[in-house]
């Protein structure tokens, strides 16, 4: 997803902007740029590709000078260059952008910042202007000249148009946004103005409040190294920043009281430490995260979470989860656990599909959005649809300064996973899965169901140790897993509570190694997918033996489905517990996890699947923390 940064204060803006863009790079991008202002001059430096290319352009500016630093241009002018170098060294006000292309190819011309046609303003934007074709056509009919394919340039030209009518920059921006239909997080600076202007609608934009300085970013992880005083702009708000002041207004020009929160995030989380990748680091953080969640969750044998909800589960007839990607898989585990323990019917909808039909929910329905970032546009839209249909809404998210958190107040549960930098979700996913168990126990408690809290809390409390033991097998797993690096197709199978983990394992392998992988219910494999099986398609099965007769039946059927696949010459892999003696002769590869009961096994079974995707991707030389085409937070529908 695109990332925005900005700074106004007394320090060198270029350094702060570049640092900020690096901290946002995990969101995924294909070009980047900065705009600096000093007195009545603007300097724009931008580049296609990775941030290293932008830094190289900046470093080479004094040797190969151009104002808009397209190194192919012949626009050489010694005075301009000297002024440009001065801005790089002296400017204390600027904005920056990492672009994840939505409209217009990922190239130099379409990279941000963009300008109006006379080059008086510089603008960066995250979001999608849905009506930009119409707006652009009208402006072209009025004689305005465009240089790029982007929707962002339309906003720059609209500002220019309203400034030509005599409006100041704030009013011109406000009038421009009244014509815009779509999502935006915008920052604007101008040659003839010494402030930074912001506007926000649906795409996240935060302000870090400093001492005689203010910071701008798409998410708080970028500014926590400077300040933990965070102001989150809300939809349809405009802000005007100077070094000492922040003014916030709505689109009608009414001033809005600002609400500063103190972020709990720490800058150290943005460091890899002794790990080669953030992904490896975040896999290793899981025992600590799970341990913290469980430690905070109980007082004696009662649930100590979800106390601030403005409803009781006694009044809920059905729960519907809405989520995307890994969060959707966590919701599927939730369905299994909540229906099994709390006897409430649970639907699980892919958020974008939930929005593809009228929401069939009402006031006794609870719709729960699960989202690590709290900014996923599909999930945000689904929760809004549910709210409009009078359902109660709730969120399970990793960010207490997010749009979904704000929308669902006070019905939030915030996982303590902390910032997850790697695009592939690991600690956020397992903490979402654990939240499902806690939620199920809360419902049992609210509804005074006959539920064995004592033994289940005991098993939960053992999980961090079991997960830690699993992670310690990293080197053993690596030796078992990298031999599968060169297959082009994978099938992941399981049943019951681990079927969602088969889906998650397939997603991890796909998004990290770019190998085609599909997750399927074991019992469904013979209804079609079995046709693809041969010696070139490994099948990975999750088969966890059970304590009850019901669980044992699931386990035995999973094994028999695995044998059906093996009979088609597929390389057969199984994730099974240490004490399981049935699997050694059934599979080509047995990946062992510490003994855990079937119902609590999803989190544990996820760990080797995370390692499988990680080791294969690393072995194939893929960009482990920022896989191609992916964004950490998908803030467009
Ligand atoms: C997970 O590995 C993926 N990167 C992706 O599927 C992610 O889970 C999905 O985009 C949802 O993100 P969210 O939890 O921030 O809403």
Identify which has the larger pLDDT, 249 or 265: 249
> Which residue, of 471, 488, 507, is where some domain finishes?
471
pLDDT tens for residues 588-633?
Answer: 999 999 999 999 999 999 999 999 999 999 999 999 998 988 878 7
For 232, list phi and psi in degrees, rounded to 5: -95, 120
Residues 128 and 181 in one domain: yes
Asked whether residue 17 falls in the same domain as residue 77, the answer is yes
**379 CB under 6 A from ligand 1?**
yes
Helix (H, G, I), strand (E, B) or coil at 367: strand
Q: CATH number of the domain that 600 lies in? A: 3.40.50.10490
One domain for residues 156 and 28: yes
Question: Whole domain around residue 208: which residue ranges?
Answer: 3-270
Select from 425, 428, 504 the residue to mutate for testing ligand 1; criterion: most ligand atoms less than 8 Å from CB.
Answer: 425
Helical H segments across 191-285, by residue range: 278-284
- CA atoms within 13 Å, Cβ hemisphere of 182: 25
417/519 same-domain check: no
Report residue 81 CA to chain centroid gap. 39
Question: Over the range 615-628, which residues count as b (16 or more CB within 10 Å of their CB) and which as e?
Answer: bbbbbeebebbbbe
Q: How far is the CA of 601 from the centre of ligand 1 (A)?
A: 22
CB of 506 within 6 A of ligand 1: the answer is no
Q: Is 95 exposed, middle or buried (0-12, 13-18, 19+ CB in 10 A)?
A: buried
CA-only gyration radius of the chain, Å? 26
Mutate to test the pocket of ligand 1, among 27, 324, 421, 514 (most ligand atoms within 8 A of CB): 324
**Predicted pLDDT of residue 34:** 95
Q: Mind listing the pLDDT tens digit for each residue in 5-47?
A: 999 999 999 999 999 998 887 667 788 999 999 888 888 998 8
Shared-domain flag, residues 439 and 320:
yes
Bridge partner list, 42: 37
Q: Are 601 and 585 in contact (CB under 8 A)?
A: no
Same-domain status, 16 and 121: yes
3-state secondary structure of 412: strand
C-alpha of 33 from chain center: 22
Q: Identify which of 330, 352, 376 to mutate to test ligand 1's pocket (most ligand atoms within 8 A of the CB).
A: 376
Tokens 């950490």 belong to residue: 632
Atom 10 of ligand 1, residue of closest alpha carbon: 325
More confident residue, 292 or 68: 292
Domain count, the chain: 3
Tens-place pLDDT, residues 145-173: 998 888 999 999 999 999 999 999 999 99
Q: Is the CB of 376 under 6 A from ligand 1?
A: yes
Q: How far apart are CA 54 and CA 163, in angstroms?
A: 31
Q: Which of 471, 497, 512 is the last residue of a domain?
A: 471
Confidence of residue 62 (pLDDT cuts 50, 70, 90): low
CA 179 / ligand 1 centre spacing (Å): 32
Mean pLDDT of 69-94: 67
Are 45 and 54 contacting, i.e. CB atoms less than 8 angstroms apart? yes
**Contact 341/441 with Cβ under 8 angstroms?**
yes
Cα 429 to ligand 1 centroid, rounded to whole Å = 9
Residues with catalytic function: 2, 632
The atom of ligand 1 lying closest to the CA of 511 is 2
Residues 116 and 241 in one domain: yes
- Determine the Cα–Cα distance for residues 601 and 607; give it in Å rounded to an integer: 10
pTM, 2 dp: 0.74
pLDDT at 69: 42
Centre of ligand 1 from the C-alpha of residue 512, in Å = 13
- The Å distance, Cα 515 to ligand 1 centre, comes to 18
Give the C-alpha separation, 414 to 394, whole Å: 11
């Amino acid at each position: 997803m695109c990332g925005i940064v900005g700074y106004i204060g007394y320090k060198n803006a270029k350094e702060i902007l570049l640092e900020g863009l690096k901290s946002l790079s995990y969101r995924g991008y294909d070009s980047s740029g900065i705009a600096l202002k000093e007195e009545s001059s603007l300097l724009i430096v931008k580049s296609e590709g990775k941030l290293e290319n932008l830094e190289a352009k900046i470093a080479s500016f004094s040797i190969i000078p151009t104002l808009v630093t397209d190194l192919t241009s012949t626009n050489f002018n010694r005075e301009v260059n000297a002024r440009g170098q001065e801005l790089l060294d002296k400017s204390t006000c600027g904005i920056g952008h990492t672009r994840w292309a939505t409209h217009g190819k990922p190239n130099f011309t379409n990279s941000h910042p963009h300008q109006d046609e006379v080059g008086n303003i510089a603008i960066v934007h995250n979001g999608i202007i849905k009506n930009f074709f119409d707006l652009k056509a009208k402006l072209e009919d009025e004689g305005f000249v465009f240089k790029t394919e982007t929707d962002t340039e339309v906003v720059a030209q609209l500002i220019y148009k309203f400034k030509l009518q005599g409006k100041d920059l704030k009013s011109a921006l406000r009038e421009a946004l009244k014509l815009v239909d779509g999502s935006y997080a915008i920052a604007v600076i101008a040659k003839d103005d010494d402030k930074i202007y912001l506007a926000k609608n649906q795409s996240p934009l935060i302000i870090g409040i400093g001492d005689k300085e203010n910071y701008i970013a798409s998410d708080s992880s970028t500014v926590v190294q400077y300040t933990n005083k965070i102001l989150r702009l809300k939809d349809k708000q405009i802000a005007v920043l100077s070094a000492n002041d922040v003014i916030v207004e709505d689109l009608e020009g009414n001033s809005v009281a600002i609400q500063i929160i103190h972020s709990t995030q720490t800058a150290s989380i943005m460091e890899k430490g002794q790990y080669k990748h953030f992904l490896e680091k975040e896999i290793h953080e899981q025992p600590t995260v799970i341990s913290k969640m469980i430690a905070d969750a109980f007082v004696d044998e009662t649930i100590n979470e979800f106390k601030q909800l403005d409803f009781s589960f006694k009044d809920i007839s059905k729960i519907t989860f809405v989520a995307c990607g890994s969060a959707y898989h966590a919701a599927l585990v939730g369905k299994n656990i909540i229906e099994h323990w709390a006897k409430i019917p649970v639907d699980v909808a892919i958020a974008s599909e939930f929005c593809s039909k009228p929401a069939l929910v009402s006031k006794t329905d609870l719709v729960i959005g699960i989202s690590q970032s709290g900014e996923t546009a599909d999930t945000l839209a689904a929760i809004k649809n549910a709210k409009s249909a009078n359902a109660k809404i709730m969120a399970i998210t990793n960010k207490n300064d997010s749009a979904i958190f704000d929308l669902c107040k006070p019905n939030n549960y915030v996982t303590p996973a902390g910032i997850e930098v790697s695009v592939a979700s690991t600690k956020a996913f397992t903490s979402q899965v654990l939240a499902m168990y806690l939620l199920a126990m809360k419902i049992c408690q609210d509804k005074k169901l006959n539920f064995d809290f004592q033994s289940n809390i005991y098993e939960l409390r053992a999980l961090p140790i079991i997960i830690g033991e699993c992670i310690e097998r990293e080197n053993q797993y690596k030796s078992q897993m990298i031999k599968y690096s060169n297959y082009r197709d994978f099938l992941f199978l399981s049943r019951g509570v681990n079927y969602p983990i088969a889906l998650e394992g397939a997603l991890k392998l796909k998004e990290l190694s770019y190998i085609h992988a599909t997750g399927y219910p074991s019992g469904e494999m013979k209804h079609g997918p079995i046709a693809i099986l041969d010696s070139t398609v490994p099948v990975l099965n999750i088969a966890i033996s059970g304590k009850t007769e019901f669980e044992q039946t699931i386990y035995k059927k999973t094994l028999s489905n695995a044998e059906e696949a093996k009979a088609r010459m597929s390389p057969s892999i199984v994730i099974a517990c240490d004490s399981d003696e049935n699997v050694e002769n059934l599979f080509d590869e047995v990946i062992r996890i510490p003994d855990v009961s079937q119902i609590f096994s999803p989190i544990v079974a996820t760990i080797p699947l995370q390692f499988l995707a990680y080791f294969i991707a690393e072995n194939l030389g893929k960009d482990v923390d920022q896989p191609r085409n992916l964004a950490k937070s998908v803030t467009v529908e």
